[in-house]
């Protein structure tokens, strides 16, 4: 089962334009093709079987239109193309109906631009076939000017215009396709970003808790023979901490978790003091609410790192309106292990317009996070 945040991201990126494009185009063609085809059949039919032959071309055009797809070519296209081509030949040679080209003038131009290769050749071949098939009327009719106009020039010109317009439309569909693919990739990247954020937050919560539990359990083990009450108190705190972590994990899964810098600051002080580490907090200004949550994450991750990787005796936390600085001693001169949590936080802080930096010098480690471009509240009110 997906976490609620992931389902939300997928829902945001699930609806695309292809379904709407398909419905709009099919509806337009279905509305136009039957009445126009019926009118042409009525005009050109002199017997009932003339009407049947000409109607087959209209039906072929309608079936091809109904099965139109914005992304590929339906399997019914080839049969519809053959039927409409035969109807056009029959119209020229037998029926004496120049409107018999109607079916092929719909089926051919609709699908020629959708070929993966040789689109231009297909378009030229289609137009040439309409012209040649119409010219076969000269085999049975001596009226050359009328045949050239009604069976060659008019059908060929209309087919060429329709084909050109469909090619222009295909450019639009291709563009929409590229936009749709970009939108899908954006959706996938959004899900990946949320998974990384989720994993980072889960690391913050459970990694932090496990190290604190380890610290307090070790302390309780030392006190169990000398100070039973203090040991019991440490174990009660461990129990409460585990319960709180379970609650935070549930809130994280349902996208309800929000870190509070003041609570994280109090938690960090208690942890450092329990570990025998002196802590000093300097407040230069009240922290802006817009930076509160990310700075809380930085403080929590840094607290965990100090407890895990340093033999600190002193920690100093300095708060400003738009930043936090945490410096601790007790850092070995050897290269530090990779701090993946801070690396992930650096990206998140940068994504919000801030900067997270770390410095290791003279046995001390300095972690600084700041949002230098955070607008002033006075400026916002103007």
| Position with higher pLDDT, 39 vs 181 | 39
Give the pLDDT mean for 166-171: 78
pLDDT interval class at 232 (50, 70, 90):
confident
Read off the pLDDT of each residue in 237-260 and give the average, rounded to a whole number: 70
CA distances from 3 to 201, 242, 245 (A): 13, 21, 17
Q: Which residues contact 93 (CB under 8 A, 6 or more apart)?
A: 136, 137, 139, 140
**pLDDT at residue 254, as a whole number:** 53
Letter string b/e over residues 340-376, b meaning 16 or more CB atoms within 10 A of that residue's CB: ebbebbbebbeeeebebebeeeeebbbbbbbbeebee
pLDDT value of residue 382: 36
Residue 10: per-residue pLDDT = 40
Task: Look at residue 190 and tell me whether its pLDDT is greater than 60.
Answer: no
Residue 50, pLDDT above cutoff 80: yes
Model confidence over 88-111: pLDDT tens digits? Answer: 999 888 888 888 999 899 888 888
Query: What is the average per-residue pLDDT within 346-367?
Result: 86
364: pLDDT strictly greater than 50? yes
Q: How confident is the model at residue 258, as a pLDDT?
A: 59
> Please, how many CA atoms are within 13 Å of residue 18, restricted to the half-sphere of its CB?
15
Which one, of 262, 272, 278, 247, lies nearest residue 319 by Cα? 262
Spatial contact of 311 and 275, defined as CB atoms under 8 Å apart: no
pLDDT at 317: 94
Under the banding of pLDDT at 50, 70 and 90, the label for residue 314 is very high
Question: Sign of the CA dihedral 84, 90, 92, 95?
Answer: negative
Say what the pLDDT of residue 161 is: 92
Q: Tokens 């079916």 correspond to what residue?
A: 103
Tokens 């459970």 belong to 206
- pTM recorded for the entire structure: 0.47
CA 208/CA 303 separation, integer angstroms = 8
- Helices (DSSP H) in the chain: which residue ranges? 4-12, 18-44, 48-66, 77-90, 102-111, 119-135, 144-147, 154-202, 208-223, 228-253, 261-274, 292-309, 340-351, 377-380
Average pLDDT over residues 25-42: 83
Give the pLDDT of residue 167. Answer: 83
User: Residue 142 has what pLDDT?
Assistant: 85
> Residue 303 pLDDT > 60, yes or no?
yes
Region 173-178 average pLDDT: 71
Q: In the chain, pLDDT over 90 holds for what percent of residues?
A: 16
- Residue 379: what pLDDT? 43
Give dist(CA 340, CA 6) in Å, integer.
Answer: 23
Length of the chain: 382
Mean pLDDT of the chain: 79
Quote the pLDDT of residue 380.
Answer: 44
Q: What is the pLDDT of residues 123-137, one digit of tens each?
A: 899 999 999 999 999
pLDDT at site 9 = 39
């Amino acid at each position: 089962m997906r976490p609620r945040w992931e389902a939300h991201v997928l829902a945001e990126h699930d609806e695309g334009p292809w379904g709407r494009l398909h419905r709009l185009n099919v509806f337009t063609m279905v509305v136009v093709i039957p009445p126009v085809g019926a009118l042409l059949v009525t005009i050109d039919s002199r017997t009932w079987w003339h009407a049947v032959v000409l109607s087959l071309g209209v039906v072929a055009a309608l079936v091809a239109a109904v099965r139109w797809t914005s992304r590929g070519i339906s399997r019914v296209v080839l049969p519809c193309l053959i039927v409409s081509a035969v109807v056009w030949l029959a119209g020229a040679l037998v029926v004496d109906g120049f409107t018999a080209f109607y079916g092929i003038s719909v089926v051919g131009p609709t699908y020629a631009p959708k070929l993966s290769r040789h689109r231009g050749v297909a378009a030229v071949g289609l137009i040439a076939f309409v012209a040649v098939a119409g010219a076969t009327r000269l085999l049975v009719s001596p009226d050359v000017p009328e045949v050239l106009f009604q069976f060659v020039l008019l059908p060929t010109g209309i087919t060429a215009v329709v084909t050109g317009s469909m090619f222009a439309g295909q450019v639009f569909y291709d563009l929409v396709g590229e936009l749709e693919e970009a939108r899908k990739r954006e959706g996938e990247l959004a899900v990946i970003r949320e998974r990384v954020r989720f994993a980072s937050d889960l690391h913050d919560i459970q990694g932090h808790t496990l190290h604190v539990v380890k610290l307090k359990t070790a302390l309780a083990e030392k006190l169990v023979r000398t100070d039973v009450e203090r040991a019991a108190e440490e174990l009660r705190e461990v129990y409460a901490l585990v319960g709180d972590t379970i609650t935070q994990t549930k809130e994280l899964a349902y996208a309800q978790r929000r870190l509070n810098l003041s609570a994280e600051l109090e938690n960090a002080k208690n942890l450092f003091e329990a570990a025998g580490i002196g802590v000093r907090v300097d407040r230069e200004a009240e922290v802006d609410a817009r930076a509160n949550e990310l700075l809380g994450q930085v403080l929590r991750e840094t607290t965990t790192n100090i407890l895990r990787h340093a033999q600190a005796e002193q920690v100093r936390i300095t708060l400003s309106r738009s930043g936090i600085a945490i410096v601790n001693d007790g850092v070995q001169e050897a290269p530090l292990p990779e701090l993946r949590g801070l690396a992930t936080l650096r990206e998140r802080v940068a994504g919000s317009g801030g900067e997270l930096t770390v410095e290791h010098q003279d046995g001390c480690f300095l972690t600084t996070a700041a949002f230098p471009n955070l607008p002033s509240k006075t400026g916002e009110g103007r």
